Chain A
Amino acid sequence: MGVTGSALLDVDRIRRDFPVLERRLGDDRPLVYLDNSATSLTPSPVVDAMATYYNEYNANVHRGLHQLSQEASIAYEDAHDAVAEFIGADGREEVIFTKNTTESLNLVAYSWGLEHLGPGDEVVITEMEHHAALVTWQQIARRTGATLRYIGLTDDGRLDMSSASERIGDDTAVVSAVHVSNTLGTVNPVDDLVDMAHEHDAIAVIDGAQAVPMRPVDVGSMDADFYAFSGHKMLGPTGIGVLYGKEELLQRLEPFLYGGSMIEKVTFDESRWNELPWKFEAGTPPIAEGIGLHRAVDYLESIGMDRIQRHEEALVSYALERFDALDDVEVYGPRDPATRGGLLAFNLETVHPHDLAQVMNDFAVAIRAGDHCTQPLHDRLDITASARASFYVYNQPSDIDVLIDGIDAARELFIA
Chain B
Amino acid sequence: MDLGSDIYRQQILDHYRNPRNHGSLEEPTFTHEGENTMCGDLIEMDVELDDDDVITSVAFRGDGCAISQASASMLTERLIGMSLEEVDALDRDDMIDMLGVEISPMRVKCAVLAEKVVQDGADIHRGKIDLDRTNLDDS
Interface residues of A (CB under 8 A from B): 26-27, 352, 354-355, 358-359, 361-362, 370-371, 383-385, 409, 413-414, 416
Q: CA–CA, A409 to B66, complex, Å?
A: 15
Q: Taking CB as reference atom, which chain A residue is nearest B3?
A: A362
Q: CA–CA, A414 to B13, complex, Å?
A: 7
Contact A352 B3 (CB under 8 A): no
Contact B65 A384 (CB under 8 A): no
Interface residues of B (CB under 8 A from A): 1-5, 7-8, 13, 16-17, 38-41, 63-67, 107, 110
CB < 8 Å: which of A358, A371, A414 contacts B7?
A358
CB < 8 Å: which of A361, A385, A414 contacts B5?
A361
Given A413-B8, A413-B13, verify A385-B40 contact (CB < 8 Å). Answer: yes
A412–chain B nearest beta-carbon distance, Å: 9
CB < 8 Å: which of A358, A384, A413, A416 contacts B39?
A384
CB-defined contacts of B65 to chain A, threshold 8 Å: 352, 354-355
CB-defined contacts of A355 to chain B, threshold 8 Å: 8, 65-67
Q: CA–CA, A358 to B101, complex, Å?
A: 14
Q: Taking CB as reference atom, which chain A residue is nearest B40?
A: A384
Q: Can you give 23 contacting A-B residue pairs, CB < 8 Å? A: A26-B4, A27-B4, A352-B39, A352-B64, A354-B107, A354-B110, A355-B8, A355-B65, A355-B66, A355-B67, A358-B8, A359-B3, A359-B8, A361-B4, A361-B5, A362-B3, A370-B38, A370-B39, A371-B40, A384-B39, A384-B63, A409-B3, A413-B13
Contact B3 A371 (CB under 8 A): no
CB-defined contacts of A416 to chain B, threshold 8 Å: 13, 17
* Chain A CB within 10 A, most for which of B1, B39, B65, B66: B65
Q: Taking CB as reference atom, which chain B residue is nearest A378?
A: B40
CB-defined contacts of A354 to chain B, threshold 8 Å: 39, 65, 67, 107, 110
B33–chain A nearest beta-carbon distance, Å: 15
B116–chain A nearest beta-carbon distance, Å: 18
Q: CA–CA, A384 to B36, complex, Å?
A: 10
A350–chain B nearest beta-carbon distance, Å: 10
CB-defined contacts of B16 to chain A, threshold 8 Å: 414
A171–chain B nearest beta-carbon distance, Å: 33
Contact A358 B5 (CB under 8 A): yes
Contact B13 A362 (CB under 8 A): no
CB-defined contacts of A371 to chain B, threshold 8 Å: 38, 40
Q: CA–CA, A26 to B7, complex, Å?
A: 13
CB < 8 Å: which of A383, A385, A413 contacts B3?
A413
Q: CA–CA, A409 to B5, complex, Å?
A: 14
Q: CA–CA, A85 to B65, complex, Å?
A: 47
B110–chain A nearest beta-carbon distance, Å: 7
Q: CA–CA, A352 to B12, complex, Å?
A: 14
Q: Taking CB as reference atom, which chain A residue is nearest B63?
A: A384
Q: CA–CA, A358 to B41, complex, Å?
A: 16
CB-defined contacts of B63 to chain A, threshold 8 Å: 384
CB-defined contacts of A361 to chain B, threshold 8 Å: 4-5
CB-defined contacts of B110 to chain A, threshold 8 Å: 354
Q: CA–CA, A355 to B38, complex, Å?
A: 14
Contact A27 B39 (CB under 8 A): no
Contact A385 B39 (CB under 8 A): yes
CB-defined contacts of A359 to chain B, threshold 8 Å: 3, 5, 8
Q: Taking CB as reference atom, which chain A residue is nearest B7?
A: A358
CB-defined contacts of B107 to chain A, threshold 8 Å: 354, 358
CB-defined contacts of A409 to chain B, threshold 8 Å: 1, 3
Q: CA–CA, A271 to B38, complex, Å?
A: 44
Q: Taking CB as reference atom, which chain B residue is nearest A412?
A: B1
Contact A362 B5 (CB under 8 A): yes
Contact B4 A414 (CB under 8 A): no
Q: CA–CA, A361 to B5, complex, Å?
A: 8
